[in-house]
Amino acid sequence: MQYITRMKLISNKALRDFSALQADAEAPLQAFRQLIEKGRYENFAELRATFRGVDKVGERFVFNIGGNKYRLVAAIAFAPQLVWVKSVLTHADYDKGDWK
């Protein structure tokens, strides 16, 4: 039997911390986490097939969360199946560009 490595999100604390500030972000952020951790994505095309609202910005991946209300900025290493949450922002804060 072959073991399939699923994506691992590092860390859920960033999602919980943001949800403490923006309570309506909790459900969509946890839905994102569950979907990421159930999947295996070999490349950006596979990631985008599941997450239509993801873009690659430089070396980072930017996900639209909560109906485009929030942005999750992540680094992804496809080979080891790891996702590092770098920032979770409101759309307005994302547009300011301080996350870059």
For the chain, give every domain's residue range.
8-90
- What is the reported pTM? 0.92
Q: Are strands 82-90 and 8-10 parallel, antiparallel or unpaired?
A: parallel
Give the whole-angstrom CA distance, residue 78 versus residue 19.
27
Task: Indicate the pLDDT class of residue 1, thresholds 50, 70 and 90.
Answer: low
Quick one: 8-90 is in which CATH superfamily?
RelE-like (3.30.2310.20)
Task: Provide the CB-side half-sphere exposure for 67 (13 A, CA).
Answer: 3
**Whole-angstrom Cα distance, residue 88 to residue 91?**
9
**21-70 pLDDT, tens digit each:** 999 999 999 999 999 999 999 999 999 999 999 999 999 999 999 999 99
Query: What is the token pair recorded at 26?
Result: 């909790």
Integer angstrom CA distances of residue 21 from 5, 18, 35, 74, 90: 33, 5, 23, 19, 11
